[in-house]
């Protein structure tokens, strides 16, 4: 049986604690490539081990995910009493104890499954707020059959462009985010592939393109970007970066645009196919199968490969579709995050200016989206003259190739436009500072439970963070994670006093860096001597030099 990674186990434990404390529908946030299907499989098995007669429904919106999630459960637990209910797949196994369903096939058929005990919703960011939707009707009917129904949502992007966070606002389906694993952490730990954003010579201009519902009107957007000279220039650059890479994905602004990109890539001597909502089921399956096998170099997509598409070999993403949606941006870039044999990293070519608009992909969280795009304070970048990677303006060398950037006076004229781009990962922005000292103490007095204050110093300054060991809910979960991340032994202290008595168990970090986490806060990442990292300490105060 497959073994859960630490962050996968922590996600299930957080969900259990949430329900044990009487919580309602909970949301689990795991990045693309983090093994979401495996976590769902483990949740199902553990649930049935505790309640052998329980009924479980797993809902999602596309048949590919229905098949993937069903297959993941059988790989994890071959004896699982699982079936599929999906018209698109041609299976209607309503009698199975665990049923993987496409919402289109079951939205008005919850009664078919009897009294449901657990509903799992994959790609939960696609759940609308309105009750009179497929998901809303299914959940209402399931609760009518079982008032104690539990609901768990899984997503990499816990927000929607038109209505913000999934756990906020009137009509929300989910009560709160019970745990959020960050992209940057999993890259640092080696579970996800590093990303490199190259400065592109071409930038799509969407000035004046009208918007509706918070994003660009599709027809107007396509008209603005689907121009022969623009496509040719973008593809020439794409081919230059991708010639030695295996699998490219190009996200386009419309069907005609995708066809133009496909034809331009073919003209450069590389195989390419389009995959759109109009592509037939069998043809789409064939194309993706050939792409996965390496027989097709590039897929030009319109809106259908940003979720539920699992080809780990993807090592180049071309962002040719401008969007105001941080969720769509993260989902598109996420197609390149999975590890694969022979894949050291993935290149992101940001023609659409999405990194500049939304920030580094590992800094886009539920909080930062709620506060708005492109939080100020994130440093600008410049292209490395040696390899073209975007690096911080004040960087003395490029970590990718160790070339020393030219002085500002010697930069080529075209570099001025590249400076406005942002690195795809926030580490390229914030420098590491050597930790010269640290101290643990009680936090300043105030209302509520006592807090542990952690003071960290570097040459010329320092910062303070708070650890809420005596709190409950998400704050306590974060504190538990902090204690373990700093090497503390079990059991985790329940009080600040107990933590101070056991302070010698903790390891002092070797270095730290501070990143913007939305408009009003910053987070601290620490690095230990063995290379381990811990992220998402919230900075709340500075220290004098």
Tokens linked to 504: 């010698």
Q: What is the pLDDT of residues 444-461, one digit of tens each?
A: 766 678 889 999 998 878
**Same domain flag for 158 and 198:** no
d(CA 373, CA 371): 7
pLDDT category of residue 204 using cuts at 50, 70 and 90: very high
Nearest CA to 395 out of 355, 406, 410, 353 is that of 406
One-character DSSP codes across 2-55 = PPPPHHHHHHHHHHHHHHHTT--SEEEE--TTS-HHHHHHHHHHHHHHH-TT--
In the predicted model, what is the mean pLDDT of residues 176-182? 88
What is the average pLDDT score of the chain?
83
User: What was the pLDDT predicted at 126?
Assistant: 83
User: What was the pLDDT predicted at 413?
Assistant: 29
3-state SS of 104-137 is HHHCCCHHHHCCCCEEEEECHHHCCCCCCCHHHH
User: What was the pLDDT predicted at 416?
Assistant: 27
User: What was the pLDDT predicted at 531?
Assistant: 73
**Same domain flag for 197 and 90:** no
**Same domain flag for 208 and 167:** no
- Check if the beta carbon of residue 117 is closer than 8 Å to that of residue 56: yes
Q: What is the pLDDT of residues 217-266, one digit of tens each?
A: 999 999 999 999 999 999 999 999 999 999 999 999 999 999 999 999 99
**Same domain flag for 165 and 205:** no
Tokens linked to 11: 């996600």
d(CA 406, CA 410): 6
Q: Compare 488 and 403 and report the one with higher pLDDT.
A: 488
User: What was the pLDDT predicted at 181?
Assistant: 87
In the predicted model, what is the mean pLDDT of residues 338-359? 90
In the predicted model, what is the mean pLDDT of residues 6-23? 92
User: What was the pLDDT predicted at 290?
Assistant: 95
Asked if residue 55 is part of any domain, the answer here is yes
**Same domain flag for 321 and 227:** yes
User: What was the pLDDT predicted at 182?
Assistant: 81
Burial class of residue 148 in the structure, from the number of CB atoms within 10 Å of its CB (0-12 exposed, 13-18 middle, 19+ buried)? exposed
**Same domain flag for 345 and 484:** no
Nearest CA to 454 out of 413, 503, 411 is that of 503
Q: What is the pLDDT of residues 108-141, one digit of tens each?
A: 999 999 999 999 999 998 887 765 688 989 999 9
**Same domain flag for 176 and 189:** no
**Same domain flag for 242 and 385:** yes
pLDDT category of residue 408 using cuts at 50, 70 and 90: very low
Would you say residue 403 has pLDDT above 60? no
Instruction: Name the domain count of the chain.
Output: 3
Domain residues for 103?
4-180
User: What was the pLDDT predicted at 169?
Assistant: 77
Identify the three-state secondary structure at position 449. coil
- Check if the beta carbon of residue 94 is closer than 8 Å to that of residue 82: no
Asked if residue 166 is part of any domain, the answer here is yes
Asked if residue 316 is part of any domain, the answer here is yes
Q: What share of the chain is helix, strand, coil (3-state, %, to 5)?
A: 30, 25, 45
Nearest CA to 154 out of 49, 30, 311 is that of 30
Give me the torsion for CA of 17, 19, 21, 24, rounded to 10°.
Answer: 130
pLDDT category of residue 440 using cuts at 50, 70 and 90: very high
Residue where a domain stops, chosen among 147, 180, 213: 180
**Same domain flag for 126 and 274:** no
Tokens linked to 210: 């009208």
User: What was the pLDDT predicted at 11?
Assistant: 92
**Same domain flag for 382 and 289:** yes
Identify the three-state secondary structure at position 421. coil
Would you say residue 388 has pLDDT above 50? no
Q: What CATH number did the domain enclosing 335 receive?
A: 3.40.50.300
Q: Compare 327 and 266 and report the one with higher pLDDT.
A: 266
Percentage, residues of the chain above pLDDT 70: 81
Q: What is the pLDDT of residues 132-159, one digit of tens each?
A: 688 989 999 999 999 999 999 999 888 7
Cβ contacts of 144-149, under 8 Å, gap ≥ 24? 145/110, 145/111, 145/114, 145/115, 145/116, 146/115, 146/116, 146/117, 148/117, 149/116, 149/117, 149/118, 149/119
User: What was the pLDDT predicted at 486?
Assistant: 92
Q: What is the pLDDT of residues 284-297, one digit of tens each?
A: 889 999 999 999 99
- Check if the beta carbon of residue 524 is closer than 8 Å to that of residue 478: no
- Check if the beta carbon of residue 380 is closer than 8 Å to that of residue 343: no
Please provide residue 523's backbone torsions phi and psi, each rounded to the nearest 5 degrees. -120, 155
User: What was the pLDDT predicted at 130?
Assistant: 62
**pTM of the complete model:** 0.70
Would you say residue 381 has pLDDT above 50? no
**Same domain flag for 262 and 364:** yes
In the predicted model, what is the mean pLDDT of residues 350-371? 71
Residue where a domain stops, chosen among 154, 180, 206: 180
Asked if residue 38 is part of any domain, the answer here is yes
Asked if residue 133 is part of any domain, the answer here is yes
Residue 93 has a CB neighbour count (10 Å cut-off) of 14
User: What was the pLDDT predicted at 280?
Assistant: 86
Distances (CA, A) of 85 to 62, 400, 419, 488: 12, 48, 51, 46
Asked if residue 165 is part of any domain, the answer here is yes
Asked if residue 339 is part of any domain, the answer here is yes
User: What was the pLDDT predicted at 392?
Assistant: 42
- 246: preceding bond cis by omega (within 30 degrees): no
**Same domain flag for 195 and 163:** no
pLDDT category of residue 418 using cuts at 50, 70 and 90: very low
Q: Can you state the angle between helices 255-267 and 228-242, rounded to 10 degrees?
A: 50
User: What was the pLDDT predicted at 307?
Assistant: 61
Would you say residue 93 has pLDDT above 90? yes
Residue where a domain stops, chosen among 340, 364, 390: 390
Asked if residue 405 is part of any domain, the answer here is no
Would you say residue 80 has pLDDT above 50? yes
Residue in this structure with the two tokens 């990109």, named with its chain if needed = 261
d(CA 503, CA 514): 24
């Amino acid at each position: 049986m497959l073994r859960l990674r630490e962050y996968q186990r922590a996600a299930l434990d957080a969900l259990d604690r949430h329900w044990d404390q009487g919580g309602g529908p909970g949301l689990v946030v795991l990045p693309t490539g983090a093994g979401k299907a495996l976590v769902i499989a483990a949740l199902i098995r553990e649930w049935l081990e505790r309640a052998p007669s329980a009924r479980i429904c797993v809902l999602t919106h596309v048949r590919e995910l229905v098949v993937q999630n069903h297959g993941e459960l059988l790989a994890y637990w071959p004896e699982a009493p699982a079936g599929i209910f999906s018209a698109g797949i041609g299976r209607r196994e309503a009698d199975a104890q665990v049923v993987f369903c496409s919402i289109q096939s079951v939205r008005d058929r919850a009664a078919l499954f009897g009294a449901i005990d657990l509903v799992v919703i994959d790609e939960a960011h696609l759940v609308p707020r309105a009750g009179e939707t497929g998901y809303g009707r299914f959940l209402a009917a399931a609760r009518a059959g079982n008032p104690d129904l539990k609901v768990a949502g899984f997503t990499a992007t816990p927000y929607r462009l038109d209505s913000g966070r999934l756990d906020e606002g009137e009509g929300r389906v989910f009560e709160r985010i019970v745990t959020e694993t960050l992209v940057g952490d999993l890259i640092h730990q080696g579970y996800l592939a590093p990303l490199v954003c190259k400065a592109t010579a071409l930038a799509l201009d969407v000035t004046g393109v009208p918007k509706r519902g918070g994003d660009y009107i599709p027809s107007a957007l396509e008209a603005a970007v689907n121009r022969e000279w623009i496509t040719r220039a973008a593809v020439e650059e794409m081919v230059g970066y991708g010639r030695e890479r295996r699998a490219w994905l190009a996200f386009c602004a419309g069907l005609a645009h995708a066809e133009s990109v496909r034809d331009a890539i073919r003209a450069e001597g590389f195989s390419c196919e389009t995959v759109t909502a109009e592509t037939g089921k069998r043809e789409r399956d064939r194309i993706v199968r050939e792409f996965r096998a390496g027989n097709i170099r590039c897929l030009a997509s319109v809106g259908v490969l940003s979720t539920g598409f699992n080809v780990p070999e993807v090592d180049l993403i071309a962002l040719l579709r401008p969007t105001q949606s941080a969720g769509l941006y993260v989902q598109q870039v996420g197609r390149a995050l999975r590890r694969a044999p022979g894949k050291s990293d993935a290149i992101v070519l940001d023609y659409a200016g999405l990194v500049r608009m939304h920030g580094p992909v590992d800094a886009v969280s539920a909080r930062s989206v709620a506060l708005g795009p492109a939080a100020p304070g994130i440093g600008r970048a410049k292209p490395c003259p040696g390899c073209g990677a975007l690096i911080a303006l004040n960087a003395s060398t490029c970590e990718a190739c160790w070339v020393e950037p030219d002085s500002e006076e010697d930069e080529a004229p075209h570099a001025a436009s590249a400076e406005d781009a942002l690195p795809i990962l926030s580490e390229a922005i914030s420098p590491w500072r050597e930790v010269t000292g640290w101290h643990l103490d009680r936090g300043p007095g105030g209302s509520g439970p006592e807090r542990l204050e952690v003071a960290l110093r570097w040459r010329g300054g320092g910062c303070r963070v708070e650890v809420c060991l005596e709190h409950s809910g998400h704050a306590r979960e974060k504190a538990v994670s902090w204690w373990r991340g700093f090497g503390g032994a079990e059991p985790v202290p329940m009080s600040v006093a107990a933590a101070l008595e056991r302070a010698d168990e903790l390891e002092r970090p070797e270095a730290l860096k501070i990143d913007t986490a939305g408009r009003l806060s910053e987070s601290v990442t620490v690095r230990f001597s063995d290379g381990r990292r811990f992220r998402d300490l919230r900075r709340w105060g500075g220290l004098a030099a």
